[in-house]
Structure 1
Amino acid sequence: MSTTARPYEPAGPPGPASEGAALGAASAPLAEQRTRALLAWDAFRDLAAAADPDAPSRLPGWTGRAVVAHLASWPDEPLLARLLAEARGTRSADAEPLDQDTANAALVEAHRDATAAELLAALDDGRTRLVAAFDAVEREGIGLARTGSQVGPVPLLTQLGAIAYELAVHAADLVPCGAPEADAELVDAGLLALADITGALAARYGLTAESALVGPGGGWAFAADGGGWSVRAVPAGKSTGPAVRASSAALLLDASAGRRSVPPLLVKRDLRLDNVPGLLALAPLLDRVPGLPGGPALNVAAGWLGGLGRAIGRFQR
């Protein structure tokens, strides 16, 4: 087992392009990353407090309790403790990604009788652990160390930021349980996390690609060159490069998570693809990472140019 934290490196042999390369949102000031992550967590906690845990959620077969239990911190699922151990080099990442569906089912079953107070207490424990993780990054300098994820090794800070994506997507799952719509800050944090993790994957597999995720009020874009990746805010208005644009930022998250079927959204122009050939630079990721966030939209783009989506193309002209 390794005892030294390993810095993140893109796929392929190290070279001048990877030395000092940008690492997306993980390269931003730590205070900015911490603030965004905790705002997202607190926003979800407020929504969970307003939800009826016994009501059916948007996810088939899941109650509000199951949605919250899935994201909360429990003694039997110390995710952040595992990530910190991997970043410190005191634990090796698992050889194979976790079977997330099986793990989720087991976690939900274990806490099927949790009270509303216990669910909120578990969310509070998760926030405490998230604060401790950022404190460790600041104190020990392990923010860029490699940690295992469902999509391969990524920096610890990338994982801490990616939590916002799950929070934002599941916030919408709680609306049928009586929770209000997620606020703009939570949705924005989730959209940044989606752009960031896709950029990380593109860089890891040596791709040169870029894309923007844009709603009416703007969004986020990434650019990867095989040596690293960057993320930037996109102002409102049509982007000039490859982009997935939607009638709302929340819709981008829903489409990426498979909550909404992409083809009807394209036909209704609630979702639009700009510069599809540029988007297809990301297509190799679909074969390597079947669970890629945003994969449904990329699959549609690939099918479109392959002849499967010509009708959609006519609607977008």
Structure 2
Amino acid sequence: MSEDTSVMSATRFNGRIRRNGGAWPVEAGRYRLLASRACPFAGRSLIVRRLMGLEPAISVAFTDPLQDERGWRLPAPDPVLGIRFLSEPYFAAAPGYDAGVSVPVMVDVPSGKVATNDIDTLSIDLATEWGEHARRGAPDLYPEAHRAEIDELNTDVFHNVAIAVYEAGMAETQEAYDSAYQRLFDCLDRMEERLTGRRYLVGDTITEADVRLFNSLARFDAIYHGYFKCNRNLLAQMPALWAYARDLFQTPGFGDTVDFDDMKRHYFTVLDAGNPHHIVAGGPDLSGWLAPHGRDALGGRPFGEGTPPGPPPAAEAVPPAGRPG
């Protein structure tokens, strides 16, 4: 989502793209995913799309990590949609639209209108509704037997990690900061305890719950610890969570969607209240993301009965500046 106060605003376009028809039926080539590698909420859709092998069915365009007064923008006019600013499909869908313009967003190519920007359901629908277009060996990221548990964890992580870091970083009173800070670290402590004896959050395979937590963890030491004052400790000082995050980062479909350079340039320049000169921090050392994690000893089958995805398409590869090592 937009890394400003709209990060806490409600989703406006909550349509569902589903295989059984409706306003937005599943159809290969019909939709274009607009996403930012800087944004943790967009990161969910990028990872699920990769894990499911939906690249041939759903094209993608990456926004520039920088913004101006017009908000999210594409580096050049989009060759599919013919737009330069993310606001354009929002205005096409709702003339006079005056609410937040956020990523990720699925745009209906024929009409140029937003189909959905619902961060809660978009990645779940990619995991469950696009099966006929998924790759052979795609994992079950939202298994029916575990959905209640996944939903409960997702709610906890959303409010007490993904949103709490923003509430801490944007707090205008000490009380608001203290509350968000406490909720954040209470939740991280719960996740640390949960992951000490198990490889994944739910069951013995990667699920939607892991996708969502990972995106916050990937940004923690580089952004949230210092810039958002979430500094009780580094992720690297929480043994289970740090090993878990490295395990996922080194799993195909996760780390190959993460661009640390985009992240840092975005946060340190767009959220400028505490950084008016837009100085981008030099650290942290990213090489630790490639260090052995030892989580294999806990068992588990990352993709269940499935297989890892292949390399990302060349046009979607993260530039060297955004990768560790």
Q: TM (normalized to structure 1)?
A: 0.31
User: In proportion to residue count, which structure has more strand?
Assistant: 1
User: In proportion to residue count, which structure has more helix?
Assistant: 1
Q: TM (normalized to structure 2)?
A: 0.31
